[in-house]
């Protein structure tokens, strides 16, 4: 063997030792199915969005992608399951906006910014405060006037205590100088049923589960939580445009890995996920749900999540919101 051959072999061996082992004995990741924890039951917005990009993500990874619904306790059961997962790249989570509020409202066995590795902000969208068509509230100002005349007598539904819908409505009510009565439900499904039936006059929700009822005229939008108007609720003004200039409360979905997952795996997943959710067909189907695909960098996702935890944590503490409130 000549000198050149020996040098080539030595370089190859050195590269092999230096290369990250991202698949164990099989050599490359992934070498088996990948699991995505959806911390809510089937049928909700998180489950719907995950299933839209599931097949395209599996195609990009070359392995099956399995949706694992772990609903309950405002997403904290699924979050806790994710926090216990091995950092081997085979368990991921599609988190919803209340992952941020849960950090303050609940006593959790994990801290999101320590337990999770941000991969991408998948999508953002508006929340909307809607009134049943049979109520006298045609505008948000109508509601404000009525609530000032009779504090604590007008109820609003949300999908649960301490979620973004609850916390953001608390902030909005404070800025408007009114007191509404929170009517929490165990999930968006039961809440929208009662809102459509007129059993509760108001409902704060993401657009995914109420857009059809807005289009039918059963639920009347009084305002949206984006900075300006949104194409997802045509004709509805934002609360910022209605005199609450600093009020912004976007709903969001973020893809997270387990902290400690090797960087090459995180990069590979980010690339595969970005291709999946920006695929024209997938993107159109996600945005039909009432949100806008983001496909952010991990750094942007991490900064966004940290800012949401801090922002809504201040509101929760200032208003003494707890899981029992």
**In the structure encoding, which two tokens stand for residue 321, read together?**
């919101």
Reply yes or no on whether the pLDDT at 9 is more than 70.
Answer: no
Which residue in this structure is represented by tokens 């839209």?
52
Q: Do the Cβ atoms of 163 and 98 come closer than 8 Å?
A: yes
* In CATH, 30-124+251-318 is 3.30.1360.120: no
Reduce the DSSP state of residue 156 to 3 states and report it: strand
CB 274 within 8 A of CB 295: yes
Tokens of residue 291, six digits? 């949100």
Residue 104 · residue 312 · CB < 8 Å: yes
Query: Measured at the alpha carbon of residue 46, what is the angle toward residues 160 and 194, in degrees to the nearest 5?
Result: 40
Determine the Cα–Cα distance for residues 109 and 167; give it in Å rounded to an integer: 22
The pLDDT of residue 10 is above 80: no
Structure tokens at 185: 């439900």
Q: Where are the domains of the chain?
A: 30-124+251-318, 127-224
The percent of residues in the chain predicted with pLDDT above 90, rounded, is: 80
Q: How far apart are CA 265 and CA 32, in angstroms?
A: 14
Q: What is the pLDDT of residues 227-285, one digit of tens each?
A: 999 999 999 999 999 999 889 999 999 999 999 999 999 999 999 999 999 999 999 99
Q: In what order do the strands lie in the sheet with 127-132?
A: 181-184, 155-158, 202-206, 127-132, 219-224
Q: Which residues contact 234 (CB under 8 A, 6 or more apart)?
A: none
Q: Is the dihedral of CA 139, 141, 144, 150 positive or negative?
A: negative
Residues contacting residue 166 through CB under 8 Å, at least 6 positions apart: 101, 158, 160, 182, 184, 204, 321
- What are the helix (H) ranges across the chain? 3-18, 45-61, 76-84, 98-105, 112-115, 140-149, 164-176, 188-197, 211-216, 263-278, 280-287, 298-318
* Rounded Cα distance, 270 and 117, in Å: 11
Architecture of the CATH domain 127-224: 3-Layer(aba) Sandwich (3.40)
Q: How far is CA 88 from the centre of its chain?
A: 23
Q: What does the pLDDT look like over 105-155, one tens digit per residue? A: 999 999 999 999 999 999 999 999 999 999 999 999 999 999 999 999 999
pLDDT of amino acid 27: 52
72 falls in which pLDDT band (50, 70, 90)?
A: confident
**Is the pLDDT confidence value at 20 over 80?**
no
CA 130 to chain centre: 20
What is the average pLDDT score of the chain?
Answer: 90
């Amino acid at each position: 063997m000549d000198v050149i051959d020996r040098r080539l072999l030595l370089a190859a061996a050195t590269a092999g030792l230096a290369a990250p082992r991202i698949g164990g004995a099989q050599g490359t990741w992934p070498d088996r199915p990948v699991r995505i924890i959806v911390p809510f039951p089937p049928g909700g917005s998180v489950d719907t969005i995950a299933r839209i990009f599931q097949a395209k993500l599996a195609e990009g990874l070359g392995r099956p992608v399995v949706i694992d619904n772990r609903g309950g306790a405002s997403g904290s059961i699924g979050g806790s399951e994710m926090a216990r997962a091995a950092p081997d790249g085979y368990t991921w989570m599609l988190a919803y906006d209340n992952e941020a509020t849960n950090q303050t409202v609940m006593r959790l066995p994990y801290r999101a910014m320590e337990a999770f590795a941000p991969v991408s902000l998948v999508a953002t969208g508006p929340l909307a405060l809607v009134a049943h068509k049979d109520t006298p509230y045609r505008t948000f100002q109508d509601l404000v006037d009525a609530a000032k005349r009779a504090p604590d007598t007008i109820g609003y539904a949300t999908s649960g205590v301490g979620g973004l819908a609850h916390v953001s409505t608390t902030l909005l009510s404070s800025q408007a100088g009114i007191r509404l009565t929170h009517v929490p439900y165990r999930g968006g499904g039961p809440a929208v049923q009662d809102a459509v039936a007129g059993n509760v006059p108001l409902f704060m929700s993401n657009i995914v589960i109420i857009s059809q009822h807005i289009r039918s005229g059963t639920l009347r939008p009084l305002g949206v939580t984006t900075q300006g108007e949104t194409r997802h609720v045509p004709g509805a003004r934002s609360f910022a445009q209605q005199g609450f200039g600093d009020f912004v409360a976007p709903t969001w979905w973020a893809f997270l890995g387990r902290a400690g997952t090797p960087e090459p795996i995180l990069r590979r997943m980010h690339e595969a996920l970005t291709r999946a959710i920006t695929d024209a067909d997938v993107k159109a189907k996600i945005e039909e749900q009432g949100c806008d695909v983001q496909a952010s960098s991990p750094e942007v996702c991490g900064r966004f999540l940290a800012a949401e935890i801090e922002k809504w944590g201040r509101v929760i503490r200032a208003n003494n919101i707890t899981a029992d409130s």
